[in-house]
Amino acid sequence: MAMKSSDKKETKPKPKHRKGLWSPDEDQCLRDYVLKHGHGCWSSVPINAGLQRNGKSCRLRWINYLRPGLKRGMFTLEEEQTILTLHNSLGNKWSQIALHLPGRTDNEIKNYWHSYLKKRVAKAEPAASSSPKREVEESTPLPPLVPKTPLDEEKLVHESSLPLPVPPQPACVRTLDSPLEQARATLPRIMFAEWLSQDLANDQHQNPTVDFGSECISSDINVGEVDAFGFMQHQHHPQMGVMSSSVSDGLSGVTFGNEYCNLHYNDINSCSVGSRTLGSDPYIAQPQQQQLGFDHVEDECGLIFEYFNGDDICSHLNGGSDVMYL
DNA sequence: AAACACATCAACCGCGTATTC
DNA sequence: TGAATACGCGGTTGATGTGTT
């Protein structure tokens, strides 16, 4: 709309914006820029980054493809079930559904729904086609796509009655074949903010003092595989390849590629960030040793790490248990 | 091997809302 | 207070890939 009005009143040549698929060079350009400077105002991103795209296109590309932490590949059965359950109660609120599926974008979920799940639902309930609205059917969830397990049963009840009593585990964790109680017992105490909605984050059940800021983009370190105990063993960074971390020693450090990020927790309210070995990228060229409050850590490449001030954070950090993402 | 149909998904578009001036 | 601008969301499109005849 803004485009329309400005287009109308001006005869000056409007910038020629490229359309269509993004080239690897464009991707690299956008990625480098956002990682280094943050996106700020999206309309200025292509100008500053030297891209022949409009800001909207850059934003979309970043969110749906370049943003760190995205999970690629097939949807798991758990994710399918989550989508079905949430769609049943929320309808086409793809962005809200995406909040419950870490690493998945609303666009991806939407596409998956239209190309796959919708048809399966239609097949599964041909007789129900006369029922006018699905949102009143929360107490009668759709037939499962996979054989039900006790956990599935509990989860259906649990997830279809939003707001959730406990923050949902990321789907990659929920693949653990364990009873719900065990799942609850291994709920992570630290999560990427983007993996939880603000509502969930503010839920007082498990994480009484979680404070996720809207600016939290602490997702340059991606979630990885989780072992049988819920501990992260290996991680895959979509842009930088495989990295590893040592969760069990209290998040003392995370390495990825030739970068090493040392995080030292001093007490409940502070931590130190430093001892990064030098990487080839300019934005990590300066090692730093910085005393920081626990709420907010911004590193030299502009990435903001936010942590919560938890009563029991120290024990969790030092013990390693329950700490899953950083 | 070619033609066609269908499926997938990245990207665009339009609209509503929030924010800024 | 209203206009301009920016952002985010959901619907839709179209290029490309894959399967079928």
Answer whether residue A170 is part of any domain: no
Which nucleotides of chain B are near protein (any atom < 7 Å from a CB)? 7-17
Residues A55 and A110 in one domain: no
pLDDT of residue A288: 30
Q: Which CATH number characterizes residue A45's domain? A: 1.10.10.60
Please say whether the beta carbons of A138 and A161 come within 8 A.
yes
A282-323, pLDDT tens digit by residue? 222 222 323 333 333 333 333 333 333 332 222 223 333 222
Answer whether residue A173 is part of any domain: no
Answer whether residue A115 is part of any domain: yes
Indicate the number of domains in chain A: 3
A167-216, pLDDT tens digit by residue? 333 333 333 233 333 333 332 222 333 333 233 333 333 332 222 222 22
**Is residue A52's beta carbon less than 7 angstroms from any atom in nucleic acid strand C?**
no
Answer whether residue A175 is part of any domain: no
Tokens in use for A275?
A: 């001892």
Averaged pLDDT, A122-144:
43
Answer yes or no: is pLDDT of A106 > 70: yes
**Is residue A265's beta carbon less than 7 angstroms from any atom in nucleic acid strand B?**
no
Across all strands, nucleotide nearest A57 (CA–C1'): B11
Which nucleotides of chain C are near protein (any atom < 7 Å from a CB)? 4-12, 15-16
Residues A256 and A326 in one domain: yes
Residues A137 and A60 in one domain: no
Answer whether residue A300 is part of any domain: yes
Percent of all residues in chain A with a pLDDT value above 70, rounded to a whole number: 33
Averaged pLDDT, A264-287:
30
Residues of the domain holding A284: 180-326
Q: How confident is the model at residue A126 (pLDDT cuts 50, 70, 90)?
A: low
Answer whether residue A306 is part of any domain: yes
Residues A198 and A100 in one domain: no
Answer whether residue A184 is part of any domain: yes
Averaged pLDDT, A242-255:
29
Answer yes or no: is pLDDT of A62 > 60: yes
Subset of residues 77-136 in chain A with CB less than 7 angstroms from any atom in strand C: 92-96, 106-107, 110-111, 114
Answer whether residue A171 is part of any domain: no
Angle at A268 between CA A264 and CA A271, to 5 degrees: 25
Boundary (domain end) residue, out of A99, A133, A162: A162
**Is residue A41's beta carbon less than 7 angstroms from any atom in nucleic acid strand C?**
yes
pLDDT of residue A57: 92
